């Protein structure tokens, strides 16, 4: 059994993330009892699926100014120098450094840069598969998640009394094959 047999319809190629059909969301503790949620509305990226899936790669850029927590005042506060400082750091980036299989799932290791700080992260990834679209194109889908410590990136105040340090990131990605 080959590595590609575990991913239905595996297709080699370069894929562009479809931001209309994809989501980057996050949650973190607020005041130790509740959860604050948000998302980023603007992002782009590419997935290159190699003949050997373990040699594939992912790159992505998130527009940090597009943070959306559902509250304009809170969004403005998170954009300022107390947190993301989007005037000086308008984007966050991810670049994979390796891919490994974990049962039916995959781990995408990479470097995530936010607020001018780069930290290695691992995305636990569940392949959704590959399919043909009604217009003759090809579509790739996957779900991924990781948990970051915001203080590793020097985002927000140290200590977790008011705002939790752990930030859970959840990705739902669809990408289209380049022609």
Return the H-helix or E-strand segment holding 77: helix 72-79
In this predicted structure, what is the pLDDT of residue 6? 61
Q: What is the mean pLDDT of residues 158-163?
A: 66
Residue partners of 17: CB distance under 8 A and separation at least 6 = 43, 44, 45, 46, 47, 60, 173, 174, 175
Q: What is the pLDDT of residues 132-143, one digit of tens each?
A: 999 999 999 999
* Integer Rg of the chain from CA: 17
In this predicted structure, what is the pLDDT of residue 1? 33
In this predicted structure, what is the pLDDT of residue 157? 72
Report percent pLDDT > 90 for the chain: 68
Structurally, the chain folds into a number of domains equal to 1
The whole-model pTM stands at: 0.90
34-40/23-30 β-pairing? antiparallel
Residue 58: strand, helix, or coil: strand
Range of the domain at 99: 3-177
In terms of C-beta density within 10 A (0-12 exposed, 13-18 middle, 19 or more buried), how is residue 103 classed? Answer: exposed
Q: What is the pLDDT of residues 91-133, one digit of tens each?
A: 999 999 999 998 878 999 999 999 999 999 999 999 888 999 9
**CATH code of 97's domain:** 2.40.128.110
């Amino acid at each position: 059994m080959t590595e590609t047999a575990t991913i239905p319809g595996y297709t080699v190629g370069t894929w562009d993330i479809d931001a209309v059909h994809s989501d980057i969301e996050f949650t973190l503790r607020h005041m130790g009892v509740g959860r604050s949620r948000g998302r980023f509305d603007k992002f782009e990226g590419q997935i290159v699926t190699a003949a050997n899936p373990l040699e594939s790669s992912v790159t992505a850029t998130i527009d940090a100014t597009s943070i959306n927590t559902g509250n304009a005042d809170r969004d403005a506060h998170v954009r300022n120098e107390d947190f993301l400082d989007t005037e000086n750091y308008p984007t966050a980036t991810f670049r994979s450094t390796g891919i490994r299989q974990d049962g039916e799932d995959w781990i995408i290791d990479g470097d995530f840069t936010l607020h001018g700080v780069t930290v290695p992260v691992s995305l636990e990834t569940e392949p959704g598969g590959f399919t043909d679209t009604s217009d003759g194109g090809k579509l790739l889908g996957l779900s991924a998640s990781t948990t970051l410590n915001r203080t590793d990136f020097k985002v927000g105040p140290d200590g977790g009394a008011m705002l939790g340090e752990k930030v859970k990131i959840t990705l739902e990605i669809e990408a289209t094959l380049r022609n």
